[in-house]
Amino acid sequence: MSEKLKINVVIAGRTYPLSVKNTQEEEGMRKAAANINHLISLYEQNYAVNDKQDVLAMCALRFASQLEISSIDKNDNTDKALEKINKLNEMLQSHLG
């Protein structure tokens, strides 16, 4: 059984100790924390927000919505590809049959 790595990430000025499986997961966590901190900074500069929790909620909504939109786009692209494949199959069957 492999040993987990212990790391600390800082989000909104607070340090969070985490255990990660490997250096790839560590890199992902650190990049995610950096993205969150960057977005916090942007929200604080552009909006009159006094409460960190409000800013963190806005960040969570932004990242979650990006995942959902990406998933929807992926499903739409898959559906379109399947439609094209089905049309090609129909054309081949009518040509060969």
Contact 29, 40 (CB under 8 A): no
pLDDT at 80 over 90: no
Q: Using one digit for the tens of pLDDT, what is the confidence trace for 27-77?
A: 999 999 999 999 999 999 998 888 899 999 999 999 999 989 988 888 778
> Domain range holding 79?
5-96
Section 3-15 average pLDDT: 95
Token pair 């049959």 is at which residue?
Answer: 97
Q: How far is residue 92's CA from residue 97's CA, in Å, rounded to a whole number? A: 8
Beta-carbon contacts of 36 under 8 Å, excluding residues fewer than 6 positions away, are: 11, 12, 56, 59, 63
- With both helix axes pointing from N to C terminus, report the angle between 23-46 and 52-96 in degrees, rounded to the nearest 10: 120
Query: How many structural domains is the chain composed of?
Result: 1
